[in-house]
Amino acid sequence: MFIIASQASKAKKAPAAGLSSLSIGERKATLRQTNSIVQDIVSFEPMIQSVTSKAEDLLQAQPASEISIKYETLSKHAKELYAKQKETVEQHQAFIDAGNDFMQWIRVAKEKLSKCSEPTGDKESLSTKLSQLKVNTGCSSLFNCICKVYCQGGKYLGL
């Protein structure tokens, strides 16, 4: 039981030590470790129930209920920690996916702009390209603004 308590203590200290700077792989590893700790705690439940039952049989209900309360508190905190870490990992993965989608959007926008900026073709195709450039010019300044925000780590958005 002491080993489990010390592992839970380490897991509690990990978020304060800088979980925000971990990569998605490190976060997933931490999540797996926390899940392992939760499973270890849950595996002690039958033993806790047995000790509680035997203590009650020996008319020592007070220490037995104290053990049960401490076990339930430990189990609850471990499950809450796991849930928070799981949510953080999911949010981190969603952020990475959104960043990848954004980068794909940038590539497509650059391709469209480069196709429109080629001054070749007949009068009709040049006219179409010119109108596309006029439409994309508004997007281009938005595009530049988004790029600046993205490249500066979201400072403009307060992220």
pLDDT band for position 35 (cuts 50, 70, 90): very high
Higher-pLDDT residue of 159, 132: 132
**pLDDT score for 14:** 46
Distance CA 36, CA 97 (A): 27
DSSP class of residue 157 equals G
Kindly list the domain boundaries of the chain, sorted by start residue.
2-93
Q: What is the mean pLDDT of residues 75-83?
A: 94
| Higher-confidence position of 4 and 126 | 126
Angle at the Cα of 99 from the Cα atoms of 24 and 144, rounded to 5 degrees = 145
Q: What are phi and psi of 153, to 5 degrees?
A: 70, 25
Q: What is the mean pLDDT of residues 121-144?
A: 63
* Residue 107 clears pLDDT 80, i.e. is over it: yes
The pLDDT value recorded for residue 132 is: 65
Would the CA dihedral through 6, 11, 15, 17 be positive or negative?
positive
